Structure 1
């Protein structure tokens, strides 16, 4: 079947999905849409990666479009103003490049380089304007994208985003130490850490500038809203683990739900795939219930005032985009060259990374 519904501006050829990764409920009940700005988004993010020196020109030319980073965001934050979506897409592309640097620093035994980068990223998050011209492209790229994100909503949202991303950086440091030490976290430890390394709170925060309004704490923290948001993100994290399992086994990873299940629960490889898939499918079915409750909550906010009406409408937009995350994540994993391990010359070395140069600044 096609990855996009007929309502979108782009309809690529059908993408084959391996039976072990196929989720018929996603293909049937979560039609994928694509933001109409997507073609321009792809072009501008590609240019941004070059201008910020985040990927070498040959890697951008050969891999940027095929990695489908912009497709992932364009399928998620529907209705976002073009400039908001562009900034989110640039930040997301930066995030993937950062993830690759983190991996290469581990593989090439560069703890000093990682510690230096970690410190600089914390600093750039607090004062992006002071780091726009930093010598390390990753630091300058974060400063640029985050500085732009900070322009859309009030300072309270900015402070929350920064707080959440500081926690993500610290979680990446914990993963670094685990991998260097060869320590495989327990399932419970992994579930907690994965919600940070996958940046659950960040992608949920970004629903708000996409909808054009900061949500007050009582609304964001309402159980109905939080549950729907968490399930959408957990689905993405566990499905990512399912799809990246071969890549991460090839790379001697220790951070994957499947690896924790095999190590600490004694499951076989076949049992592990079945268990991770079950968790993924549970996220989908549980979300369908949580979505209804979140939409009922949105309706309850319409108290007859203009403010209540607009607030309820904002929550509806955010919940609608939580739904979009399912289809966008699902198809991304089958379209992106990031997960086509079988096509790589070296199954442990992604062809889209600058394998030797990164991390030496």
Structure 2
């Protein structure tokens, strides 16, 4: 099945979703949309990756577009200004590169390198302007993206974003230790950790600059809003685990909900796959209910004032983008070269990662 009537790649091809991973409800009830800025977004993020030396030029030419990082963000943050979407897309591309560096540090046992990077990212998050010219491109690129993200909303939003991302860095450290020790976390421990390593609250925070305003606590902490946001992110994390389970078992991975279920709940691979799929499908059905609750809540915010009308519209835009996350994530997993492991020469090493790009000398 083709996700768009006109493909986002130069050579249009139908996207074939394996039956075991197909979700007809996504394909029928969650129509995919794409921000009109997408073609320019793809081009500018490609240039940014080169300028910040986050990927070598040959890897950018060969793989950047096919990784579909910009497609993922352009399918999520609809309605964002071009400037906001560009900053978010560059940050997202950086996040994937960081994830690859983290993986290579684990694979090669580079504990000291990881500890240094962890410390530098914490420092850059607190003072990004002081790290724009850091010798490690990953730190400098992070600082650049954070400086830009910090320019859209008040300091209270920036402080919240920083607090949430400090927690993400620490979660990556816990994952590093689990993987190097070969320790499979229990199911509940894994679920809590996954919400951080997948950066649930970061992607939710970014709904606000996309909507053009910071949401007050009364919105962000409203049970329906928080529930809908969590479900959109849980879907993405668990669908990723479902798609990745066979290759991660083959690679002796420890961080996957299916692996936790097999290790700690005694499930077979087939049973774990069924459990993951059930959780994914429940996220979808529960979101459809939560979405309606948020829309009703948004209606109550339109209290006759200009501020009320604007906030109501912004919340509607945010929950609309939570909905977009389902289709964007779904198709991303079947279009991005990041998940086409069977086509790699070496299944243990992504072709878009080089030793130099991964911090090795």
TM tier, smaller: over 0.9
Supply the distance in 2 between the matched residues of 1:173 and 1:74 (Cα, whole angstroms): 29
Q: Distance in 2 between matches of 1:359 and 1:218?
A: 43
**Mapping 1:139-154, distance limit 5 Å:** 139-154=139-154
| Residue of structure 1 in register with 2:29 after alignment | 29
Distance of aligned partners of 1:42 and 1:357 in 2 relative to their CA distance in 1, 3 Å threshold:
closer
Residue 330 of structure 2 aligns with which residue?
330
Aligned position for 1:278: 278
The CA distance in 2 between the partners of 1:213 and 1:118, in whole Å, is: 31
Say if 2:330 is the partner of 1:339. no
Structure 2 Cα separation of the partners of residues 90 and 272 of structure 1: 35
Partner of 2:18: 18
Unaligned runs of 5+ in 2: none
Secondary structure at the aligned position of 2:20 is classed as helix
CA apart distance, 1:12: 4.1
Write the distance in 2 (CA, Å) between the matches of 1:357 and 1:211: 34
Distance 2:257 2:301 in 1: 38
Question: Within 5 Å, which residues of 2 pair with 1:186-197?
Answer: 186-197=186-197
Are residues 32 and 221 of structure 1, via their aligned partners in 2, closer, same or farther at CA, if it must alter by over 3 Å?
Answer: same
Q: Give the structure 1 partner of residue 213 of structure 2.
A: 213
Residue range with higher mean Cα deviation, 276-285 or 350-359: 350-359
Which residue does 1:55 correspond to in 2? 55
Q: CA deviation at 1:326?
A: 0.2
Partner of 2:203: 203
Question: Once the two structures are superposed, what CA deviation does each residue of 1:235-277 show, in whole Å capped at 9, x if it has no partner?
Answer: 0000011111233223321000011011001111111111101
Counterparts of 1:101 and 1:74, CA distance in 2:
24
Distance 1:228 1:12 in 2: 34
Provide the rounded CA distance (Å) in 1 between the counterparts of 2:6 and 2:31: 9
Q: Is the 8 A contact 2:56 2:357 kept in 1?
A: no
For residues 43-122 of structure 1, what are the structure 2 equivalents within 5 Å?
43-122=43-122
Contact 2:231 2:283 in 1 (8 A): yes
Query: Structure 1, residues 39-76: CA drift from partner, whole Å, max 9, x if none?
Result: 00000000100100001111111110000000000000
- Quote the Cα distance in structure 2 between the aligned partners of 1:351 and 1:104: 13
* Comparing 247-256 and 289-298, the one that deviates more: 247-256
Q: Does residue 1:243 correspond to 2:237, yes or no? A: no
1:152-203 CA-partner distances (Å, limit 9, x unpaired):
0000000000000000000000000000111000000000000000000000
Residue by residue, what CA displacement relative to the aligned partner does 1:6-45 show, whole Å, maximum 9, x if unpaired?
8999994320000000000000000000001000000000
Deviation at 1:5, TM superposition (A): 5.8
Deviations 1:283-310 (A, max 9, x none): 0000000000010000011111111111
Residue-by-residue CA offset, 1:202-239 (whole Å, 9 max, x unaligned): 00000000010000011110001000000000000000
The corresponding residue for 2:287 is: 287
Structure 1 counterpart SS, 2:307:
helix
Query: Aligned equivalents of 2:246 and 2:62: distance in 1?
Result: 23
Secondary structure, aligned partner of 1:21:
coil
Asked if the contact 2:2–2:16 (Cα under 8 Å) also holds between the matched residues in 1, the reply is no
Aligned to 1:174: 174
What is the alpha-carbon root mean square deviation over aligned residues? 1.6
Matches within 5 A, 1:238-317: 238-317=238-317
Which stretches of structure 1, 4 residues or longer, exceed 6 Å deviation after superposition? 6-11
Secondary structure of 1:19's partner?
Answer: coil
TM-score (norm 2): 0.97
